[in-house]
């Protein structure tokens, strides 16, 4: 079974993110869910983004790195939206990464190095018409990643919702979230 470091989206460590972690745990995986927002949870996405901007995106990434310090190196890094920043950073820069799952976001690999690390499998998930994922460059970055990495998959879901896998948010899409969860569990089941 895999050991996972799961980073929340810009709403904070919501019950929906905790529920996703519980689903992974029920399948036998060890899951860590650090709170990058120090207890803050936001109903509105723009409020959560404003908090992240005020704290600084570099601070959010650093909080993610700090959360990994006392954990084994052999982790799968999973991030939802904003949480992709620390997840992708750690997958690319921390030796021993076993894999990465990037949900609702992807940044160019050059943000954290020259290339995606060899031997580190990655999945990217997003909705094909999500204004943030598809409209702000994340989809292009995901396609470039999949085109350059040996073990990379991109899953696009019909729809235009951001944070579609969190059941506590209005953007939740049950069918897409169910398929995403199935694919993530399959991915984790193959980690050795």
Domain segments of the chain as ranges: 3-189
The answer, yes or no, to whether residue 51 has pLDDT greater than 90, is: yes
Q: What is the mean pLDDT of residues 28-34?
A: 98
Categorize the per-residue pLDDT at 107 as very low, low, confident or very high, splitting at 50, 70 and 90.
very high
Instruction: Work out the burial of residue 178: count CB atoms within 10 Å of its CB; fewer than 13 is exposed, 13-18 middle, 19 or more buried.
Output: exposed
Between β-strands 76-80 and 30-32, what pairing exists: parallel, antiparallel or unpaired?
unpaired
> pLDDT tens digit string along 142-170?
999 999 999 999 999 999 999 999 999 99
Long-range Cβ contact pairs of 111-119 (< 8 A, separation 24 or more)? 112/88, 115/148, 115/149, 116/92, 116/145, 116/148, 116/149, 116/152, 117/91, 117/92, 118/150, 119/150, 119/151
Residues belonging to the chain: 192
The answer, yes or no, to whether residue 192 has pLDDT greater than 90, is: no
Categorize the per-residue pLDDT at 5 as very low, low, confident or very high, splitting at 50, 70 and 90.
very high
Q: What is the mean pLDDT of residues 96-117?
A: 97
Q: What is the second-level CATH architecture of the domain 3-189?
A: 3-Layer(aba) Sandwich (3.40)
């Amino acid at each position: 079974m895999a050991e996972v470091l799961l980073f929340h989206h810009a709403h904070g460590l919501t019950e929906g993110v905790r529920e996703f972690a519980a689903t992974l745990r029920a399948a036998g995986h060890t899951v860590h869910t650090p709170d990058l927002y120090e207890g803050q949870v936001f109903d509105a996405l723009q409020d959560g983004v404003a908090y992240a901007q005020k704290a600084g995106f570099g601070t959010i990434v650093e909080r993610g790195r700090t959360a990994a310090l006392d954990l084994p190196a052999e982790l799968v890094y999973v991030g939802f939206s904003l949480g992709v920043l620390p997840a992708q950073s750690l997958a690319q820069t921390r030796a021993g990464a076993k894999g990465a799952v990037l949900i609702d976001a992807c940044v160019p690999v050059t943000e954290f190095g020259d290339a995606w690390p060899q031997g580190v499998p990655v999945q990217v998930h997003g909705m094909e018409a999500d204004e943030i994922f598809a409209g702000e460059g994340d989809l292009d970055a995901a396609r470039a990643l999949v085109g350059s990495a040996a073990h990379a998959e991109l899953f696009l879901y019909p729809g235009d919702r951001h944070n579609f896998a969190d059941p506590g948010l209005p953007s939740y899409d049950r069918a897409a979230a169910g398929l995403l969860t199935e694919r993530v569990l399959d991915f984790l089941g193959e980690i050795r």
